[in-house]
């Protein structure tokens, strides 16, 4: 095979780092293979089919690699209006609100299904109009829902779960995929492969001039946040998280010099100033300290004046790391505290102590951290009680007292149940989910289940959230959010997790927590949280 067309399936605009790494990897090993990257997110809906057809006609690819990043539309967090509609639909006492929410919900469901249908139509177009091209597909969303999606894709499509470098190389070379995590449908039979030893990342670095030449749309990302991966894998076991399933549990590091070379090339050649470490977890444990420290030291030594962010286990921040983080340009952070109760955290296997999380915040404050922190709470996790909910309110107050109230934005981020997680397995065992359920099939009943917020605490929590969201105009915080979540000034709506911005700009999470406290205390005035002694710690998130 001599030519590869990569097609990044549409999602909210975010730098398509996965396909850039794949193309770069193939180029280093097979410099004669022609490659092109097409990012469909940058086209309006109506022009995407033609963009695919034109690119395939012009480029005549032997292999078309579709990269499917996101499917999720019903995000389980309050930055997304779908959560608000869902809560109004299920819990609002005012019937008019319930009716309005049901209309909005139907529209959202329509958008959700149209998005999936449209994404599937592009591989079908290639299969019908360019039958000689082999089709491959991978990416985060594909990995999450491979069992369901492979049934909807043209027969013969090679699906790859997780990283794709070696698999694409093998297809190009006509080698067997038996040692790769592939999934393939032949008629009604599904065949799967197991990954042998995952690739080491010691030679992974981006040749930016080459990338620039095969990705003409890269200009759209000048001024945007650029993804950089410094390691793959996460050794933790957080019950709801899919990242170890996607990337593996074994942590593989890229040499810091190569990571910073990527940053430096983007800095000097594209003028990039904002970066996001796309690692499942930037600080995966004490073993990661030398790599993290060297990356930050090199950013400083090379005088790269950047702003960076990523998923950071705050509990693992040491005073030294905090200083380096601040000096090397750490921006706003998203911290998944999840709960203020150590019992709830332990039950979710989060693997951190709340006390260490608070320590990490203290070190950041002492180092002069001036960014903002989104504090993600997954209220009503298994083992939640009224007391533990109050402990979550206390934990917010604690972090706010360390970093300053004006810097801390709690966000209600309910547990979303994802396939292939411990949480899903547990809920299947308990009968909360039924075996064989389709995680992509959304109905009012399944949405209610998948946005995990079970009885009996659900109604207080929903009431507190709805109360806060109703009041949110009053609590609007006009300060701009920077870092990974920000948008370029001229192009509002351009950035990745723009949804979350709604949540923090209104700072409605704070109101939701305080309303919850009010509701719980008014029900049982005697309830006083015993601040859990061996309390908190932080984490990354998903």
Taking alpha carbons only, the member of 45, 48, 50, 55 closest to residue 6 is: 55
Asked if residue 236 binds ligand SF4 (CB under 6 A), the reply is yes
Asked if residue 469 binds ligand B12 (CB under 6 A), the reply is no
Asked if residue 221 binds ligand B12 (CB under 6 A), the reply is no
Asked if residue 76 binds ligand SF4 (CB under 6 A), the reply is no
Asked if residue 229 binds ligand B12 (CB under 6 A), the reply is yes
Report 270-329 residues binding ligand SF4 (CB under 6 A): 280-281
Asked if residue 15 binds ligand B12 (CB under 6 A), the reply is yes
Taking alpha carbons only, the member of 340, 344, 336, 347 closest to residue 310 is: 336
Find the binder of ligand SF4 among 234, 260, 375, 415 (CB under 6 A).
234
Residue 117's alpha-carbon distances to 14, 33, 124, in angstroms, are 21, 31, 11
Interacting span for ligand B12 (CB under 6 A) from 164-172, 290-298, 343-351, 405-413? 164-172
Residues touching ligand SF4, count (CB under 6 A): 12
For 1-30, b/e burial (b = at least 16 CB within 10 A) is: eebbbbbbbbbebbbbbbbbbbbbbbbeeb
Asked if residue 506 binds ligand B12 (CB under 6 A), the reply is no
> What is the nearest approach in angstroms of ligand SF4 to the Cβ of residue 538?
10
Interacting span for ligand B12 (CB under 6 A) from 105-113, 282-290, 376-384, 494-502? 494-502
Report 426-465 residues binding ligand B12 (CB under 6 A): none
> What is the nearest approach in angstroms of ligand B12 to the Cβ of residue 33?
14
Give every strand in the sheet of 63-67, ordered side by side.
34-39, 3-8, 63-67, 134-138, 158-160, 182-186, 189-192
Asked if residue 165 binds ligand B12 (CB under 6 A), the reply is yes
Find the binder of ligand SF4 among 17, 149, 238, 400 (CB under 6 A).
238
Rounded-to-10 torsion of CA 162, 168, 174, 178: -10
User: Is the separation of the CB atoms in 331 and 483 below 8 Å?
Assistant: yes
Asked if residue 163 binds ligand B12 (CB under 6 A), the reply is yes
Question: What is the rounded distance in angstroms from the CA atom of residue 206 to the CA atom of residue 99?
Answer: 52
> What is the nearest approach in angstroms of ligand SF4 to the Cβ of residue 62?
36
DSSP string, 25-69: HHHHH-TTSEEEEEEGGGS-GGGHHHHHHHHHHHH--SEEEEE--
Residue 540's alpha-carbon distances to 70, 204, 341, in angstroms, are 19, 24, 17
User: Is the separation of the CB atoms in 531 and 394 below 8 Å?
Assistant: yes
Q: Decide whether 235 or 531 has the Cβ nearer to ligand SF4.
A: 235
Site string for ligand B12, 59-98 (x = CB under 6 A): ------xxx-xxxx--x-----------------------
Binding site for ligand B12 (CB under 6 A): 11-12, 14-15, 17-19, 21-22, 65-67, 69-72, 75, 136-141, 144, 160, 163-165, 167-168, 225, 227, 229, 242-243, 246-247, 276, 278, 280, 418, 484, 496-497, 499, 542
Binding site for ligand SF4 (CB under 6 A): 234, 236, 238, 241, 243-244, 280-281, 539-542
């Amino acid at each position: 095979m001599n030519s590869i067309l990569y097609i990044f399936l549409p999602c909210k605009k975010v730098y398509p780092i996965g396909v850039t790494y794949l193309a770069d990897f193939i180029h280093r090993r097979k410099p004669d293979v022609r490659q092109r990257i097409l990012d469909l997110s940058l086209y309006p809906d109506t022009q995407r089919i033609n963009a695919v057809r034109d690119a395939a006609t012009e480029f005549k690819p032997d292999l078309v690699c579709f990269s499917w990043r996101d499917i999720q539309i019903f995000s389980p967090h309050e930055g997304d209006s779908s959560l608000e509609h869902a809560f109004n639909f299920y819990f609002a006492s005012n019937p008019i609100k319930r009716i309005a929410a049901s209309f909005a919900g139907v529209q959202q469901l329509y958008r959700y299904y149209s998005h999936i249908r449209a994404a599937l139509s592009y591989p079908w177009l290639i299969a019908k109009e360019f039958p000689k091209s082999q089709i491959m597909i991978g990416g985060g969303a594909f990995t999450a829902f491979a069992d369901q999606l492979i049934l909807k894709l043209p027969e013969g499509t090679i699906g790859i779960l997780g990283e794709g470098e070696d698999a694409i190389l093998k297809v190009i070379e006509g080698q067997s995929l038996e040692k790769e995590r592939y999934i393939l449908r032949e008629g009604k039979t599904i065949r799967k492969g197991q990954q042998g030893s995952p690739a080491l990342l010691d030679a992974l670095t981006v040749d930016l001039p080459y990338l620039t030449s095969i990705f003409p749309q890269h200009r759209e990302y000048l001024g945007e946040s650029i993804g950089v991966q410094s390691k793959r894998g996460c050794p933790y076991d957080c019950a709801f998280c899919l990242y170890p399933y996607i990337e593996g549990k074994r942590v593989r590091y890229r040499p810091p010099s190569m990571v910073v070379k990527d940053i430096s090339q983007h800095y000097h050649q594209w003028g990039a100033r904002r970066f996001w470490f796309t690692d499942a977890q930037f600080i995966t444990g004490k073993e990661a300290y030398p790599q993290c420290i060297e990356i930050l030291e090199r950013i400083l030594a090379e005088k790269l004046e950047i702003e960076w962010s990523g998923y950071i286990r705050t509990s693992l921040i040491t005073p030294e790391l905090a200083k380096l983080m601040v000096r090397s340009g750490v921006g706003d952070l998203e911290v998944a505290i999840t709960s203020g109760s150590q019992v709830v955290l332990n039950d979710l296997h989060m693997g951190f102590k709340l006390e260490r999380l608070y320590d990490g915040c203290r070190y950041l404050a002492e180092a002069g951290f001036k960014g903002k922190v989104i504090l993600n709470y997954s209220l009503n996790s298994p083992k939640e009680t009224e007391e533990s909910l109050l402990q979550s309110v206390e934990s917010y107050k604690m972090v706010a007292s360390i970093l300053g109230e004006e810097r801390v934005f709690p966000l209600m981020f309910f547990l979303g149940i994802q396939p292939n997680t411990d949480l899903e397995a547990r809920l299947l065992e308990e009968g909360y989910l039924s075996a064989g359920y389709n995680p992509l099939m959304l109905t009012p009943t399944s949405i209610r289940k998948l946005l995990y917020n079970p009885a009996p605490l659900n109604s207080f929590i929903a009431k507190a959230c709805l109360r806060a969201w109703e009041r949110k105009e009053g609590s609007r915080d006009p300060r701009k959010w920077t870092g990974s979540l920000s948008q370029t000034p001229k192009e509002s709506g351009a950035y990745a997790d723009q949804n979350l911005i709604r949540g923090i700009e209104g700072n409605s999470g704070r109101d939701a927590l305080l309303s919850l406290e009010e509701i719980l205390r008014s029900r049982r005035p005697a309830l006083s949280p015993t601040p859990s002694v061996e309390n908190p710690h932080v984490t990354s998130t998903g």
